[in-house]
Structure 1
Amino acid sequence: MIEVHELTKRYGDKTAVDGLTFTVKPGVVTGFLGPNGSGKSTTMRMLLGLDAPTSGTATVNGRPYAEHPDPMFQAGALLDAKAVHTGRTAYHHLLALAATTGVPKSRVGEVIDLVGLHEVARKRVGGFSLGMGQRLGIASALLADPEVVVLDEPTNGLDPEGVLWIRNLMRDLASRGRTVFVSSHLMSEMALTAEHLIVIGKGRLIADVSVSGFIESASNESIRVRSPHANELHDLVAGPGTTVLSVDRGLFEVTGLSAEEIGDRAAAAGIALHELTVIRPSLEEAFMELTRDAVEYQSATIGEAR
C-alpha cells in the first residue's frame, strides 16, 4: 500500500507539490494523472526516496521507502528506462541488480521471459530500441517480485502488442493483490486499464475517485435520439433545465433528461424511436474539463497566435 499525507515539496519560491494526501490500495490499478508540471514526477520521486519532502510523508507498506531493509522487495519502479549502463547486456544488467539486492539468480531468467526479451537478453542495451529499453525497465521493476509496483509512462515506445501486454500485466498484478500505481498521459490506456484515479494539478489534489466517478463528475451525459418524427419529439423534450441540440436530420442530442424519461414521453405521444443512446464523456474529455484551470502552459490556436 502507498500512503501520502500532507506531502509538500518546495524548490525556492516554487511549490511543486502542495499538501497532497491520498492512499493507493492493493488489488486495483490506480492511475496517476495530471497536466505537465502538475507535480507527478516529483511526487513519485519522493515516494521512492529519491527526493526529500519539504514536509509531510510518503510511505510504502507503512514505512518510508528508504527505511526498508529490503526496498526492492517492497516496491519496484520504472521512472527512467534509459538509466541503464549501455555497455551491459540486458541479462547482466538484471544479474547485477539481483546480486546487489539479494534476489535469486533464477529470477533473472524469469523476468526476461516475462517481458519478452529472451531473444535479445545477451545483447548490449546500447543497441536497444525505445520499446526494448522500456521492457528492460519493467523487468527491473519486477525483478524482486515486489508488493508495490510504480510505473511512469510504461507504454512509452511500445508497439500495439506491447501496449496490450503491459495492460494485461498491470491487471494481472492487481488481481494478485499487488499495489499498482501508474502515471500516464495516454487517457485511452488509462480508461482501459485503471479502476481508480489520483488526479493532481499545480501540485494539489483534484480528484481521488473511481474512473467512472471521475467521468461522471466532469459533465452530464447526453442522450442521442433518432426519430422519423424528430420535430414533434423535439417539442416534447424541450423545456427548463433541458438542452436540445440538433445534430442531423431526424437526429438530436438531449441533456437534462434520462433515456427513460425521453422514451416514456415518446411512447405516450405514440412517436416511434429509431435510436435512444446514452452518450457519456470520454476519460480524456473529463480530464480536460476538470484540469482546465490547472494547466501550466496554455497553447494558443492558430488564429490566436497570429
Structure 2
Amino acid sequence: MIRAENLTKRYGNRTVVQDLGFTVRPGAVTGFLGPNGAGKSTTLRMILGLDAPTRGRATVAGRPYAAHPAPLTQVGALLEARSVHPGRTARHHLTALAHTHGIPRSRVDRVLSLAGLTEVADRRVKGFSLGMGQRLGIAAALLGDPAAVILDEPVNGLDPEGVLWIRTLLRSLAAEGRTVLVSSHLMSEMALTADHLIVIGRGRLLADTTVEELVRSAGGATVKVVTPEPDRLRSLLPSARFTEETPGTLLVSGPGAPEIGRTAAAHGVPLHELTPQAPSLEQAFMDLTRDSVEYQAEHQGAAA
C-alpha cells in the first residue's frame, strides 16, 4: 500500500504540491492523472524519497521508502527510462542493480525475458530505441519482485504490441495482489487498464474514484443525430447545444434521445440516426481539469 498524507512541496514561493492525500491499495491498477504541471512527477519523487516534502509524509507499506532495508523489493519504479549508462549492456545494468540489493542473478534473466529483451540483452544501451529503453526501465522496476510498482508514462515509445504487453502486465501484477500506480497522459489506455483513478491539478487532489464513477459524474452525454434537415431540428430545440460533425450529422448536448425523437416526430423532421453517446474518460478528465491546465492553447479562430 502507498499512502500520501498532507503531502506538500514548495520551491521558494512556489507551491507545487498542496496538502495532497490519497491511498493506493493493492490488487488494483491505479491511474495517476493530471495535466502538465499538476505535480505528478514531484509527488512520485516524494513517494520514492528523491525529494523531501515540505510538509506531510509519503509511505510505502507503512514506512518511508528510504527506511526499508531492501527498498527494491518493496517498490519497483520507472521515472526516467534513459537514466542508464549508455556504455553498459542491458544485462550488465540489471546485474549491477541486482548485486547492490542481494538479488540473485537468475532474476536478471527472468526480467529480461519478461520484458522481451533476451535477444538484445548483451547490446549496449546507447543503441536502444526509445521503446527498448522503456522495456529495460520496466525490467529494472520488476527486478526485486516488488510488492508495489510505480511507473511514470510506461507506454512512451512503445509500439502497439508493446502497449498491449504493458496493459496485460499491469493487470497481471494487480491480480497477484501487488500495488500498482501508473502515471499517464493517455486517457484511452487508462480507460482500458485502470481500476481506480487519482486525479490532481495544480498540486491538489481533484478526484479519487473509479473510472466508471468519474465518467458517470462528468455527465455531458451527447446524442448523435443524422438528419437531412439539421436547420429545422436546431430551430425546434433552442436550448440544445449543437456540434456539426459533417453536413447533416449533429452531436446534440442537453436534451436526451427520447426528447429529440419526440420533437422530430411531432414536426415531421426525418431522422436517419439517433444514438446516445456516452462521455469518454478523456472528456471527463478534460472537464475535471479544465481550470487546472497550466497552458491553454488557442483553438479555432486564431489568426493565420
Which interval holds the TM-score relative to the shorter structure?
Answer: 0.7 to 0.9
- Counterpart in the other structure of 1:195: 195
Q: Distance in 2 between matches of 1:245 and 1:296?
A: 28
Equivalences for residues 210-225 of structure 1 within 5 A: 210-225=210-225
Q: Distance in 2 between matches of 1:34 and 1:253?
A: 27
- Counterpart in the other structure of 1:280: 278
Q: Deviations over 1:138-165 (max 9, x none)?
A: 0000011111100001011111211111
Q: Distance in 1 between matches of 2:240 and 2:94?
A: 59
- Counterpart in the other structure of 2:242: 245
Alignment length (residue pairs)? 303
Q: CA deviation at 1:216?
A: 2.8
Check if 1:128 corresponds to 2:125: no
Equivalences for residues 86-125 of structure 1 within 5 A: 86-125=86-125
- Counterpart in the other structure of 1:297: 295
Q: CA deviation at 1:212?
A: 2.2
The SS at the match of 1:18 is: strand
- Counterpart in the other structure of 2:140: 140
Report the aligned-residue RMSD.
Answer: 2.8
CA contact (8 A) 1:31 1:194 kept: yes
User: Where in structure 1 do 4 or more consecutive aligned residues deviate above 3 Å?
Assistant: 225-235, 244-276, 300-306
Q: Distance in 2 between matches of 1:251 and 1:91?
A: 56
Q: Deviations over 1:5-43 (max 9, x none)?
A: 110011111111000011111122111111111110000
CA contact (8 A) 1:48 1:65 kept: yes
Equivalences for residues 27-42 of structure 1 within 5 A: 27-42=27-42
- Counterpart in the other structure of 1:85: 85
- Counterpart in the other structure of 1:157: 157
Check if 1:70 corresponds to 2:67: no
Q: Distance in 2 between matches of 1:135 and 1:231?
A: 53
CA contact (8 A) 1:27 1:179 kept: yes
User: Structure 2 stretches of 5 or more lacking a match?
Assistant: none
TM-score in terms of structure 1 length: 0.87
Q: Give the direction of change, closer, same or farther, for the CA distance of 1:262–1:176 in structure 2 (3 Å limit).
A: farther
Q: Distance in 2 between matches of 1:228 and 1:164?
A: 41
Q: Distance in 2 between matches of 1:259 and 1:65?
A: 52
Q: Distance in 2 between matches of 1:131 and 1:249?
A: 41
Task: State which drifts further: 11-20 or 154-163.
Answer: 154-163
Q: Percent identity?
A: 63
